[in-house]
Amino acid sequence: MGGGALMTEQGLIAGLWLVAGIIFAVATLVVLVRLITGPTLLDRLIASDVLLTTLILVAGTEMVINGHTRTIPLMIVLAATAILSSVAVARFVTRTRALPATVRAPGSNDADL
C-alpha cells in the first residue's frame, strides 16, 4: 500500500468526522430555536434535555476525533445527573397547576406554563 492510499484513507475519515460535526452543529442550533421560542415550559424542558444529550454525544465524538479518553468522567456525570433537572421542573409544573389561584404568583397564568 502506497502513501497515496494512506492519505486517502485518513482524508476519508477526517471528512466523515467533519460531516458528523456539522450535523451536530445544525441539530444544536435547531434545538436552540425550540428552546428559545417555547411556547410552554414543558417544550423548553424537553429541548434542554435534548441539548444535554447532544452535549454527551459531542463529548464522545470529540474523544474519537482527538483520540483521548479524558472526558469519559464528564459523560458519566452528565448521564447520571440529566434526570435531576427534568424531574425537578416536571414536578414544579404539576405543583404550580395544582395550587389554588390565590397562591399562585400575581400575573402568572396557566398558558405561561
Partner 1 sequence: MLTFDGILDVAGALLLIVAALLTLAAAIGLLRFPDPLSRLHAATKPQILGLILVVVAIGLSERSATVLLMLIPVVVLQLLTAPISAHMVGRAGYRNGNIDANSFVVDELAPDVDAAGRADIPGGAWGDEPGVDRTP
Residues that bind partner 1 (CB under 8 A): 1, 5, 9, 12-13, 16-17, 19-21, 23-24, 26-28, 30-31, 33-34, 40, 42-43, 45-47, 49-50, 53-54, 56-57, 60-61, 63-64, 67, 69, 72, 75-76, 79-80, 82-83, 86-87, 89-91, 93-95, 97-98, 100, 110-111, 113
| Amino acid (one-letter) located at 85 | S
Q: What is the residue whose three cell numbers read 444544536?
A: 28
C-alpha cell at 38: 417555547
**What is the smallest separation between the CB atom of 80 and partner 1, expressed in angstroms?**
5
Q: What is the 3-state secondary structure (H, E, C) of 53-108?
A: HHHHHHHHHHHHHHCCCCCHHHHHHHHHHHHHHHHHHHHHHHHHHHCCCCCCCCCC
Q: Which is nearer to partner 1, 87 or 105 (CB)?
A: 87
**What is the smallest separation between the CB atom of 107 and partner 1, expressed in angstroms?**
18
